[in-house]
Structure formats: structure tokens, C-alpha cells
Amino acid sequence: MKRVYNFSAGPGVLPEAVLKDAASEMLDYQNNGMSVMEMSHRTPMFQKIIDDAQKDLRTLMNIPDNYKVLFLQGGASLQFSMIPMNLMKKGVADYIVTGAWAKKAAAEAKKFGKVNIIASSEDKMFSYIPDVSDLKISDDADYVHMCDNNTIYGTKFHHLPNTKGKVLVSDISSCILSEEIDVSKFGLLYAGAQKNIGPAGITVVIIREDLIREDMPVNTPTMLRYDIHASKGSMYNTPPTYGIYLCGKTFQWLLNLGGIKAINKINEEKAALLYDYLDQSKLFFGTVEKNSRSIMNVCFKTNDPELDAKFISNAKNYDIVNIKGHRSIGGMRASMYNAMPVDGIKALVDYMKIFEKENLK
Amino acid sequence: MKRVYNFSAGPGVLPEAVLKDAASEMLDYQNNGMSVMEMSHRTPMFQKIIDDAQKDLRTLMNIPDNYKVLFLQGGASLQFSMIPMNLMKKGVADYIVTGAWAKKAAAEAKKFGKVNIIASSEDKMFSYIPDVSDLKISDDADYVHMCDNNTIYGTKFHHLPNTKGKVLVSDISSCILSEEIDVSKFGLLYAGAQKNIGPAGITVVIIREDLIREDMPVNTPTMLRYDIHASKGSMYNTPPTYGIYLCGKTFQWLLNLGGIKAINKINEEKAALLYDYLDQSKLFFGTVEKNSRSIMNVCFKTNDPELDAKFISNAKNYDIVNIKGHRSIGGMRASMYNAMPVDGIKALVDYMKIFEKENLK
């Protein structure tokens, strides 16, 4: 069996222990004579799987009791619609645009009400996080929306925006479970699973109970109502059962490691290995402002696109794959989610050193 | 390793060969050094997986070229909204109500336009399929909706409704790939994967191209537009990659078996084993009209609910599980999807014979 260092931005690397466990249980889950995939979601066996997954996520993120945890379908993209449809009461929302996804979220919200872009870093190709300490928050805003970690550009908020009392909504798809966060500061948090949690096809939504409305417009699709999913424990209809089981396994893996504090220490160590090297390199440089750096997605380049292409192409010789940057900014990107071992970053930095030695003129 | 005969109505039994294959590739897909779950959907590796899945489904169902095949999320329940949102141009649709799911689909459609219930079998607890040869089709109906196989009650249409030229839309969640169908007779077919295809979390939609609208109301959520998914090859956003891979494996398994004609022969054989026994039993009886019988879901009872409970409870001694009928009708239900081996039905009938001998007074 071969395993590579997979720096994909998502779907991305998953913990090897989780995959091994899943493989061993594929035909017979805990002596029940069937795969989790073959289980009715209305059985006590599956109920325990989803209950445990929720309980473990609550423990990991220290989620207060007045928040619901939902396992939904449709990715963050469906949340781009559900959030304004469910949270806009006065029909106004403020969006902070720090990347392509935040921009897409804002564009989708415009279908359902008035959207004010209260901050943006598009002027410099989203290479920084704008100052959000004193924004022009709309008086009648139902919420303020941000995207915490910007996967494409490799930026991350290091201070939460001052929303001046308005509800804060955050897309944490590419940083969930990578560091401790204070859930109580948010009205709604959401994340596609396919980066730090599990397979694509699950979206985790953490929503403060008082934001769950029942007085929705009559023509709201049932599947797009948080109140329906919340009242049915994420089982209004058949949920993506196997994906939820795998998310649960990742939560267990994290708890066994020591929780978020422990994984964050490893993540900081991994990021330091790469950023420290970048900061002294004479060939490679990081593409974002230092105080906006992400520890999950690290974007870097040389000054020569041909050299970048060579670096990307030769990486496979070191079992390093999916290191190419997003087409919109070029260069390289190393996505270093929780499941990426420290050895992966060491292998990458070693390769960069060799490449620098060979190619620096 | 233990395997049982799993008669679950869905999620249900999957082909053992598919599960074995998936387990063996869990950590390393075709020497790529990663699980399919860890693959970016924007890689050639995954593109081939989704392309092959689509190609194989087209072959199996003989889908004409003027139909798009979409792999979506949200289950049949999200289709209950998407169908009227996308297909209602004049704002009217006719629904045939032959079960709880068809009824739910009609109720959801009412949010988006006028719905006429043109036939129903609710008067007799959905135990039959009404005569649909000469329905009162609405002049301005955009489509006629049916649910082909009714999972809860064990009924199945054996003749398509005469729609008098209107577009026919059918929910084939619990009978897709179990028998040959003429796709060209339908405008749209849809099916949740978790019965005859793969894991929960994928919905297959087969839609005639001329029904895909671009002139949608501006406040339609992007993820609920067929035109978006069709133009992006089901990858507008990250699709449920692992589920699509497993669906593809099931399609391959069916092709290797000889396709739909071959599996249908086996399904008919399985159904005959159980129905023939039921028809001569002095203890058990089928609950639906003979000419409305499903070969996928067989509902039966004794005349004594306590005896039913005893039958269900003792079944596990014969490795027969999930044989309990839906709570709305009680009794027993044997869901016999493609992946249920003939031996499973033989084991069930053998158990019924023993039970009848012991309990017939």
C-alpha cells in the first residue's frame, strides 16, 4: 500500500487511523453483520452514531447548550442561500469580502435582501485581512458574515470583527477544529466537512437557538429551513449516514489526540516549519501579508512561473502531491489540514531546500 | 466477519463485492496513494470516476442523449422542491398520490404553484395503484408527478399513466435499476441512492434537456437550479465524491451481472419465491392488491399483531433483520433490493414456513 503527502485544498487528506478503521468495519460494523452504509437511519445503531458524533463535536468545540449542531447536505454553497433565507428578518446583511467564497456568499445573499459590503481585500487580490476593528455596520443588519480562513489565498482572521452587537456568521470550512474558537461569539458557524472533518457531502452548521425561525415565508423549500432540521435532529429525511459516521471517527481521533488544544499545537508547529523556511528563502516567498497568514493553507511562489511549474511537476518524486496553487493566483499552495502529519511538512521543506539549491541563480 | 440478511427499506443492503472492493481501496485507490475520499474533485482521477459512473448508468438504463444525468445532494426531499421550482412555468402540476412520499411531494409543490391531485389510493391505505389510463389531466399542467414504487406499502405501477401529452415526472427511488424502463417516456426521473444504488447522500436526476430552464426567478437558490448543475457536470460545488465512487461501483457490478435484464430476472425470481409462498400460506397474507405488487418491497401480515411482533423478534435467530413493517401500516416488510441475494429470500421463506407450522392453530 502506497500513501503520499496529499496537500489538496479539499477534499483533502484524512487521518490514516480513521480510514483504516473504516476499511476494517466496511462489511460488518461492530458485529451487526452490515456496513454502516447499509443501516437504516431509523435504527438505534445509527442513532448512536449520530448522537456520539454530535456529542464529541460539542466536547471538542466546547459548544454551549443553547446552540444546535446540524449535519446537513449541499455544502457551504447551500448555506450561502440558507443563511440569508433563514436569518434575514429585516432583509439586510453586512458581508466582509476576503476571498472568492466570501464574495460568492455575498452575491447569493443579494437574491434575498440588501447586502452591504462593509470591508474587502479584493484590491490586493485578497492577500490580506482588512482591519475589522471599526467597520460601518448597518443599523438594520440582521447579521455580519465573514469567511474565517480563505482557502484559495491562505489568509486567516486573527481578530474577530467588531460587529457592534450584530449577530456574527462565519464560514469556517477550512479551519474548523484546527484551533480553539469561542463559539459563543457567533450566531452561526458553518463548515463543509471535506477539509478538516470527513468526506464531501456533509455540512456542519452550529446555530444559536434563538436564531432558528419558524415564521418562514410559505414558499421556503422545507429542506432549506433550519427549524425543520433542528426539530428532527438532522434526520428530517435520510441523512448522509456513512459520511456522518466518518466525521464521528475524526472527532474521536481528535479527542484521542488530546482535543483542539493538542492539534492546534501540532498545526502551529507545522506552519512554523514552512513559514520559517519561506521567510529566509532566497527563492520562495509567501504571497500574503504576515499578519494575515493561515496555518491551514500556505501560498507561496518563486519569481518565475516556469520555475513554479517545475517545482510542482517534480514534487511527485518526493511523494508530494496537489501542491499547485489555485488557478486564480498561480504558484504553490500547501494545504496542511489536521490530518497532514508533521513529516509531510518536513518532506516538503526538504524538497524546497533541494530545489532552491539546484535552481537559485 | 458476520453478514446478515438485511431487509431494510433504505438505506439498505449493498452488493458485498462493492463493499469488499471499497474496503480494499480505502487507503490507496489504484496506487495513487490516497483514498477516493481524499481526492480533490478537480483532479483527472476523480473526473474519470464521475464520468465512468455517468457513462455506466447511461448504458444500464439506455438513457437517450438528450437527457442529462445529475448527481445531486439533498435526497428525494429536496427534489420535491426543485421539481416545481424548475418545471412549473404556468404554475400548475398534477400529482398522483399513491403513498406518503407522493403526498409529501404534492404538499411541497403547493408552495410553488397550483397542485391538482388527479388520482389517489389513500382511501384504502395506499394498498393499490389507481387506474391511471384516463385521468383528468389539467389543461395547463406543466407536468404530471408519480411515485413509481411505493416503499412503505409495497405497491408499484405496472402501467404508466396516460398524461395526454404532458411531461411525466417520476420518483423511482426504490425501483431504479430493478427493471428495464423506457426513459424517453419521462421528462424527469429521480432517485435517492440509498436503496438500489449506493450510500445515502446522493440523488440521481435524469432530466430531458429541453426542460432545463435558465429563465428562473432571480431569488432561486443557485444550488436548486438544474441549469447550474447541468452546465457544471454536477460539480458546481464539491460533490459527494465518495458516494459517487460507490454508485459507480454498483453500476459496474450490475454491468458485470449482465445489466438490468439480468438483475430483473433475479428480482422476479426472488419476488415469486415470497409471493408464491404468501399466496398459499394459511397464516401470512400480502397486504396489497395483487395487480399492484412491488418486487422490491413486499408487505405482509398475520391476522394477529402479537404474532407479527413475535415473528419480527425471532427473525434475528435466522440472521434476518429489519423485517418490521413501517409503523403506519404495521406487520412485516421485506425490502428485496438488487443486492439482496436469492438465498436471503430462501432463508426468509424457510423461516416463515417454520413459523407457520409452529403458530398456526
| Closest of B93, B108, B213 to residue B141, by C-alpha | B93
| Cβ contact, residue pair A224, B221, below 8 Å | yes
Count CB neighbours of B140 within 10 A. 14
Out of B31, B222, B241, name the one closest to residue A77 (CB): B222
Q: What is the pLDDT of residues A5-36, one digit of tens each?
A: 999 999 999 999 999 999 999 999 999 999 99
pLDDT confidence bin for B1, thresholds 50/70/90: confident
Annotated catalytic, B101? yes
pLDDT beneath 50: ranges in chain A = none
- What pLDDT is attached to residue B179? 98
The one-letter code for the residue type at A249 is: K
- What pLDDT is attached to residue A361? 79
Question: Using CA atoms in the order A305, A308, A310, A316, what is the torsion angle rounded to 10 degrees?
Answer: -150
| Closest of B314, B106, B86 to residue B205, by C-alpha | B86
Q: Phi/psi at A72 (nearest 5 deg)?
A: -115, 180
Count CB neighbours of A2 within 10 A. 11
Annotated catalytic, B171? yes
| Closest of A251, A331, A244, A321 to residue A287, by C-alpha | A331
| Closest of B18, B324, B88, B129 to residue A42, by C-alpha | B324
Out of A4, A218, A238, name the one closest to residue B200 (CB): A238
**C-alpha–C-alpha distance, residues B133 and B115, integer Å:** 20
Residues of B in contact with A9 (CB under 8 A): 40
Mean pLDDT of B130-140: 98
| Cβ contact, residue pair A26, B23, below 8 Å | yes
| Closest of B91, B137, B104 to residue B118, by C-alpha | B137
How far B168 CA lies from chain A's nearest CA (Å)?
22
Residues of A in contact with B103 (CB under 8 A): none
| Cβ contact, residue pair A27, B8, below 8 Å | no
Please check whether residue B239 touches A, CB under 8 A: yes
- What pLDDT is attached to residue A218? 92
Q: Which domains does chain B have, with CATH numbers?
A: 16-257 (3.40.640.10), 260-359 (3.90.1150.10)
Give the orientation angle of helix A75-87 with respect to helix A100-109, to 10 degrees: 40
Test mutation, A237, A245, A337, chain B, max B CBs within 10 A: A237
Total length of chain A:
361
**C-alpha–C-alpha distance, residues B314 and B209, integer Å:** 51
Q: Which residue of B has its CA nearest to A11?
A: B40
| Cβ contact, residue pair A20, B11, below 8 Å | no
| Cβ contact, residue pair B4, A192, below 8 Å | no
Backbone angle region of A161, left / alpha / beta, with phi > 0 → left and psi within -120 to 50 → alpha: beta
B348 exposure class (CB count in 10 Å sphere: 0-12, 13-18, 19+): buried
Residues of A in contact with B219 (CB under 8 A): 111-112
The residue written with cell numbers 452514531 in the block is A49
Out of B73, B220, B321, name the one closest to residue A201 (CB): B73
pLDDT confidence bin for B87, thresholds 50/70/90: very high
Grid cell for residue B305: 399483531
For A186-210, give the DSSP string: -SEEEEETTTTTSSTT-EEEEEEGG
| Closest of A204, A156, A199, A200 to residue A179, by C-alpha | A156
Cis peptide before B11 (omega within 30 of 0): yes
Give residues with Cβ within 8 angstroms of B2, minimum separation 6.
A28, A31, A32, A33
Predicted complex ipTM: 0.97
Residue A299 and residue A332 in contact, taking contact as beta carbons nearer than 8 Å: yes
Give residues with Cβ within 8 angstroms of A179, minimum separation 6.
A260, A264, A267, A295
Q: Which residue of A has its CA nearest to B12?
A: A38
* Among B94, B101, B301, B308, the one annotated catalytic: B101
Residue B185 and residue B168 in contact, taking contact as beta carbons nearer than 8 Å: yes
| Closest of A141, A12, A127, A10 to residue A76, by C-alpha | A10
